[in-house]
Structure formats: structure tokens, C-alpha cells
Amino acid sequence: MFASVWTNLDYVVPVVLFFIGLYVIIAKNNLIKKFLGLNIMETAIFSFVIALGVLDGGTPPIMGPDAHPPYTSPLPQALILTGIVVAVSTTALALSLIIRIYQQRGTIEADELREME
């Protein structure tokens, strides 16, 4: 079992990172720290999906004059490009909302915001 964990380290480490990010979202109080946790979860998913398409000794999938056959698969890379840009878009919107919450309520700790309702 441990031999296969070492072989599949590229799959096991993103799972660990995903759960670290989930812990930060649930257990931390500050809204900005929660969004750092969400970004950690998102990059863990990107890492996992790209690791699915990697070959041993694979070269980048670009047809130049000196490109030779075992290419890493271009399909997961295309999906993750979309994912990265959508992640930055949602982070920008979330940070704008946090700035406005701070201006209206004076605090960005989740339990103090809940007391104010």
C-alpha cells in the first residue's frame, strides 16, 4: 500500500491540500482567511486534474520542429485554464464584497457579524 502511495504521490498530495483548505474555511473566523482557504482548495483541484494527464517523460503538447511523441495530454490543461481564470474572477468579487462589509459593519469576523443580525 505504501509503495502505491509513493507512486501516486501526485494524486495523494492534492487530496491532502483539499482537506487543509476545507479546514481553513470551516474553522477560521476571519473572512479573508476563509478566502485564502478557498483558493487553496481550488488550486488543489487544478493540481489533481493536471496530474491525471501527465505521462512519464512527456513533453509539452506543442508541435514545434523539435517535438517528439510522448506528449502530455492537452485536454486537462485546457479545462484547467478556464478554471484558473474563473477562480480569480470569483476571488475579485468576494474581496470587493468584503471591503464593503467592512465599511458598513466595521468588522470582518464571522461570529461578530452573526451577533449583529
Q: What's the closest the beta carbon of residue 114 comes to another protein, in angstroms?
A: 14
Contacts of 80 (CB under 8 A, 6+ apart): 46, 49, 50
Q: What's the closest the beta carbon of residue 43 comes to another protein, in angstroms?
A: 6
**Strand, coil or helix: 107:** coil
Binding map of another protein across residues 10-29, x = CB under 8 A, - = no contact = xxxxxxxxxxxxxxx-xxxx
Q: What's the closest the beta carbon of residue 117 comes to another protein, in angstroms?
A: 19
CB count in 10 Å sphere of residue 104:
7
> Hey, which residues between 37 and 96 contact another protein (CB under 8 A)?
37, 39-40, 43, 46-47, 50-56, 58-64, 70-82, 84-86, 88-93, 95-96
Helix (H) or strand (E) holding 49: helix 31-52
Q: Which phi and psi angles does 71 have, rounded to 5°?
A: -95, 145
- Our finding on whether 105 is near another protein (CB under 8 A) is no
Q: Count of residues binding another protein (CB under 8 A)?
A: 82
